[in-house]
A and B are shown apart, each in its own frame.
Chain A
Amino acid sequence: MLELTVVNKWYHYRDRLMQGIIYFAVILVCCVFIWILVDLLQGGWKHLSLDFLFDSPRDAGRGGGIGSILVSTLLILLVALVAALPLGWSTAVLLAEFVPAGSHSGRSIRYSMQVLAGVPSIVFGLFGNAFFSIYLELGFSILSGGLTLACMLLPILVSTAEAGLRAVPNSYRLSATALGMSRSAALFHLLLPVASPTLAAGLLLGIGRAAAETAALLFTSGYVARMPGSLLDSGRALALHIFDLSMNVPGGDAPAYASALVLVALLLCINILAMQLVQGWQRRRITSE
C-alpha cells in the first residue's frame, strides 16, 4: 500500500480505530478457527489408529473403526463421478467451444447450472428420494445416493471446466485450424491437455463437496454401517456417520471426533492438491506466454 499523508488528526484517529476493529475481527476469526481445530484434535486424537481406519464399526460405532464407512463413501463418490464427469465436461466443452457466448441456448444452460448450484442439499435429497429411490426403484442404495450427488456436482464441474477452457488463449485454436486439424482433434490433443489442471482442480473441488455432503444422502443411501456387498446395498457415508454418532449414540463422541478429523484431513488434502494444480497451471501460463 502506498504511503498516505495524513492531513487531519481526526482522520488519523478514525483510521486507527477502523484498523483496530479490523484487526480485532481477524483475531476473532483466527481464535474461533483454532478453537475448533484444538477441540477436534483433543477429542479425537487418542481414538485414531490404523485399526480405526480399517475395522468395521461395532456396538453402534462406539467400538471398532470406520473401515466399511470409508469404503461406502468411496463407492458413493465413484458412482457420482462416473455419472457427473461425462455430462459435466461435455456440457462445458459445448458451452466453451461450440456455442456462441450470448446465444439463447448457451444462456439458458448457464442459468440452469447457476440455479442448480444454489439449490439446498436437502432439496436434492427430496428429489433423490422421490426420483431415484422410489420412482426408479433403487431403494436405499449407494447407487441412488451417488446419482443424487452427481446432480449436485454438475454445476461445479461445468463452471470450472468452462472457465478453464475459456482461459486457453485463442491463438491455440487459430494455430490448430491453420494446421488443418479438425475441431475434435484440436479439442482432444490441444485444448483439453492445456486446460487439464483447471479441469482436475474442478474435479477435486467437486469431490470435496461430495465428500462433505450429508443432507442429500439421508434419504437416498441410507444408514447401514456394514460393508456394502454391491452398489444396490445401503451404505453410510463418513459425514452421515459423524452425524449419527454425535446425535444418537451416547458415548459416541470420541469416535465422532476421530471420524471428523479423518474427514477434515481428507478434505484438506483434496483442497491443497486442487490449489497446487491451479497455481502450477497459472505459473505455466505466465512463463509460456
Chain B
Amino acid sequence: MRLNKDKFFICIALLAVSIGWLKPGYVASEKLVLTGSSTVAPLVGELARRFELVNSGVRIDVQTGGSSRGINDTRNAIADIGMVSRALKQQEKDLYAFTIALDGISIILHASNRVAELSRQQIVDIYSGKITNWKMVGGQDAHITVVNKAEGRSTLELFLNYLKLRNSEIQPHVIIGDNQQGIKTVAGNPNSIGYVSIGAAEYEVGHGVAIKLLPLDGIDASVTNVRRGIFPLSRPLNLITNSVPTGLVKDFIEFARSKQVNDLVEAQYFVSVDAN
C-alpha cells in the first residue's frame, strides 16, 4: 500500500515538472525557422550561430530538405525564411528573394580516379548511360557508378539545364539527397561520379575527404572562378520570404547580407555578394 502512495506522488511530481517545462515555451524567446536547400544550410547555420551571439533571446532553427522544400514551406508559412540555391522561376515571382552568396556546381570524382577532365558531351553520355566504363574516357577498367540527385533539388535542375537533359533520360545507380550525402557516397566508392555545390565540395576537401573537383568546359571548378564570373555553372544562394520582411526576419536577412559576415561566407567557400 505504501509503495502505491509513493509511486502516486512521484507521478504527480513528474507531471508537474513536465507541465512546468511547457510554461517557458510560451514565454519563449523569439524563434526563426529556416528550411530548404542543403547547399545554403551550412552557411545559414553559421550565420545563425553568430546572430544568436549578437542578439540574445533569439533562437534560429535550420533544417534541410531541398530548395523545393524551402519554397513549399515558405509559401505555407511553415518556415519563416526559405533557403533556395538558384534564382526564382517565373511562377515563383510572388515570393521575395535576397541573395546572400554565389556558388557553383561541380562534378566530383573520387580522389584516386585517374580521369582529370571530362567534356560536356562525355558527361551527358555518362549520365544517360551511353558510356558505362571508365576506360572509355581514359580511366581504369571499372564500371561507372552514376550518382544523381533526388528530384526537388535545385542542384539537379541547374545540372539538367546545363546538360540539356531531362531527369527521365538519366540512368542513375544511386540517388542521393543532400550535398553532403553525395560527397560521402562518392568518397566511399572509387568508381563513382557525382555533382555537388562547389562550396560544399571544397569545404570537405579542406577537411581531408577523398574527392576531387573536375573542371567544366576547361575552366577549373573553384570559388575563385565563380568570383571572377567565368565558371559556367554558377548560381545565386537566396533567402526567400513570402511577404516583405519585417522584424526579426528583416534583421536576420540584413545581417546575412552585411559585410560583417563576409568571413563566414568565405569560410564555406562561397562568394560574398558585396565583393561583386
- On A, residues with C-beta under 8 Å from B are 60, 75, 78-79, 82, 133-134, 139-140, 188-189, 193, 222-224, 226, 229-234, 247-252
Contacts and interface: CB of A to CB of B under 8 A. Distances in A.
Contact of A249 (B15, B61, B78, B180): B180
Contacts of A75: 21
Given A140-B33, A224-B61, A233-B59, A250 B25 contact: no
Contacts of A134: 78
A200 B48 CA distance: 44
Nearest to B176: A247
Contacts of B178: 247-248
B96 to A, nearest CB: 22
Interface of B: 1, 4, 15, 18, 21-22, 24-26, 28-29, 31, 33, 38, 42, 59, 61-64, 78, 177-178, 180-181, 183-184, 187, 204, 207-209
A250 B180 contact: yes
Nearest to B207: A251
Contact of B62 (A189, A224, A232, A251): A224
Interface core residue of B38, B62, B187 (most chain A CB under 10 Å): B62
Contact of A232 (B15, B28, B78, B187): B28
7 contacts: A78-B18, A230-B21, A230-B26, A234-B61, A248-B38, A248-B178, A250-B187
B33 A232 contact: no
Given A60-B180, A222-B63, A251-B208, 16 more contacts: A79-B18, A82-B15, A140-B61, A140-B63, A140-B78, A222-B61, A229-B25, A230-B24, A231-B21, A231-B22, A233-B25, A248-B180, A248-B184, A249-B184, A250-B184, A250-B207
A139 B80 CA distance: 12
Contacts of B42: 60
Nearest to A247: B181
B204 A250 contact: yes
A247 B184 contact: yes
Contacts of B180: 60, 248-250
A145 B209 CA distance: 34
Nearest to A252: B184
Contacts of B204: 250
Nearest to A236: B63
Contacts of A250: 180, 183-184, 187, 204, 207, 209
Interface core residue of A75, A232, A251, A252 (most chain B CB under 10 Å): A251
B155 to A, nearest CB: 14
Nearest to B183: A250
Interface core residue of B15, B42, B178, B180 (most chain A CB under 10 Å): B180
